[in-house]
Amino acid sequence: MKSGRKSSVKKLLLALGALGGIFAYAATIGKDTPLGHHADHVFSKIKAPVTKPLAEFEKFTRRFGKASHDDPDHWALRDACMAAMFIERSGFHFSQSRWGGAPVPYQFRGLELVGPEKLPPNAGDIHQGIDLRIGYEILIASYRSFDNEKKEWESWRFDTPPNLTEMSFARQDGVWKIAIAPHKSYAVP
């Protein structure tokens, strides 16, 4: 069975190669022959449905493809956002919660910012002047919080800290803005 499939695939590849060779001949050296005229007719029928979507894609990439996650303005906003949320000491990151009755100190081990991921704008974004979104995932190996009553750190936890998963930035009318960030949940003490 396998050798039958291999021979069928070989035959198909040979046929496609021969067909490609015929079209290449007809479009170049033999363009004034009946075969060349027929090939030109077939090419024109194929070209029309393919050209329009390619032109639309090109227009889209010119409008939205210029933006890059390497944009220094975006880096500055990302770094400012991280600096407002975390302080690094001795290989750990520290922050405190901004929700609830009183702020609670948090210690994070293995904080990693994954990204950026370029996110294409949706119709609503375009209507609001947003031409690009950049997203990051915030990963933490473990974390613990400080128990203010006992005046000691709790045990390390190995799940996702509350309200600390992702952040994203949107470029609106040429200016980068914070779209989603945990800076409203965590801040440097």
Instruction: List the single range of 52-56, 82-86, 101-105, 138-142 with lowest mean pLDDT.
Output: 52-56
CA-wise closest residue to 143 among 101, 104, 175: 104
pLDDT of residue 32: 74
The answer for 69, left when phi > 0, alpha when psi is -120 to 50, beta otherwise, is alpha
pLDDT of residue 189: 76
Q: What is the pLDDT of residues 65-77, one digit of tens each?
A: 444 556 677 888 8
pLDDT of residue 1: 45
Q: Is residue 125 helix, strand or coil?
A: helix
Average pLDDT across the chain, whole number: 78
The answer for 140, left when phi > 0, alpha when psi is -120 to 50, beta otherwise, is beta
State percent of the chain over pLDDT 70: 65
* Cβ pair 85, 111 in contact under 8 A: no
* Cβ pair 112, 136 in contact under 8 A: no
Give strand pairing partners of 146.
Answer: 153
What is the pLDDT averaged over residues 77-100?
A: 91
Q: Which residue has the higher pLDDT, 101 or 161?
A: 161
Return phi, psi of residue 95, to 5°: -160, 180
Q: Which residue has the higher pLDDT, 24 or 35?
A: 35
What is the pLDDT averaged over residues 110-117?
A: 90
Q: Is residue 148 helix, strand or coil?
A: coil
Residue 17: pLDDT over 80: no
Rounded Cα gap, residues 81 and 181, in angstroms: 8
pTM of the model: 0.59
CA-wise closest residue to 89 among 103, 75, 107: 107
pLDDT of residue 96: 92
